[in-house]
Amino acid sequence: MALYELFSHPVERSYRAGLCSKAALFLLLAAALTYIPPLLVAFRSHGFWLKRSSYEEQPTVRFQHQVLLVALLGPESDGFLAWSTFPAFNRLQGDRLRVPLVSTREEDRNQDGKTDMLHFKLELPLQSTEHVLGVQLILTFSYRLHRMATLVMQSMAFLQSSFPVPGSQLYVNGDLRLQQKQPLSCGGLDARYNISVINGTSPFAYDYDLTHIVAAYQERNGRLMENETNTNTAEKQTKEKAF
């Protein structure tokens, strides 16, 4: 015998609890675990299936007050004058050592705690028979990156200029730029090049040879390069005027 439905009524059950109950705490925790972990994973991975990306960061660059100067003289003087902040190098120069007057000033233009510009001035006293036809100068800097790759290294700016006629002064305006051969590691501290560019304690002249210093510096993965934007040499007005 077939049966027919004559009447039906749904049954609804509701469970209520206060905001400070264990059930409410469990519901809040479950909702947080549903949304927050995926957002953190996406943020830390810098995007899903990301193949290549780039970012900009202003490094912390400080002048280390280490200088090496070689001034090439004219044919009538037949030689050069040299000076550095390394006593061992100065002892090797003998009569060719000439102590200049040096003044430096680091400038933070936007007051963000990072140096934006270095003002460096060097005055080399000359005798009446000495004429400078070339300058080779090394300045050392400390360089730090913090945001994506933690990099700490000691670097340098190398200035080399020559001119056909003697001058009274040489003015150079340039920028320091980081040049890489390979990508930097995103994890850990990279301090492979946190060593002095110039071995200032060495008693051997080979360690102060500019060709050797520049060649060793070129082998680095990350290094600072100076891009000169303006170079000006003024003609020599008086022989006694400091170069």
Between these two residues, 202 and 52, which has the higher pLDDT value? Answer: 202
Say if 106 falls within a structural domain: yes
Q: Note the pLDDT tens digit of each residue in 112-131.
A: 888 999 999 999 999 888 89
Domain of 72 in residue numbering reads as: 60-235
Establish how many alpha carbons lie within 13 A of residue 169's alpha carbon, considering only the half-sphere containing its beta carbon: 8
Say if 134 falls within a structural domain: yes
**Does 237 score more than 60 pLDDT?**
no
Say if 41 falls within a structural domain: no
| Contact yes or no for 157/176 (Cβ under 8 A) | yes
Backbone angles phi, psi at 122, to 5 degrees: -130, 125
Number of domains in the chain: 1
Task: Specify the pLDDT at position 240.
Answer: 33
Q: Note the pLDDT tens digit of each residue in 20-72.
A: 888 888 888 999 999 898 888 877 776 666 777 777 888 999 999 999 999 99
Say if 13 falls within a structural domain: no
Residue 79 to residue 13: CA distance in whole angstroms: 102
- Residue 32 CB burial class (10 angstroms; 0-12, 13-18, ≥19): exposed
Say if 17 falls within a structural domain: no
Lowest mean pLDDT, pick from 15-29, 78-92, 117-131, 222-236: 222-236
Rounded to two decimals, the pTM is 0.73
Q: Note the pLDDT tens digit of each residue in 167-184.
A: 788 898 888 888 888 877
Report in angstroms the alpha-carbon separations of 56 from 53, 67, 147, 162, 227. Answer: 11, 30, 9, 35, 19
Say if 129 falls within a structural domain: yes
Say if 24 falls within a structural domain: no
**Does 104 score more than 90 pLDDT?**
yes
Say if 196 falls within a structural domain: yes
pLDDT band at 236 (very low <50, low <70, confident <90, very high): very low
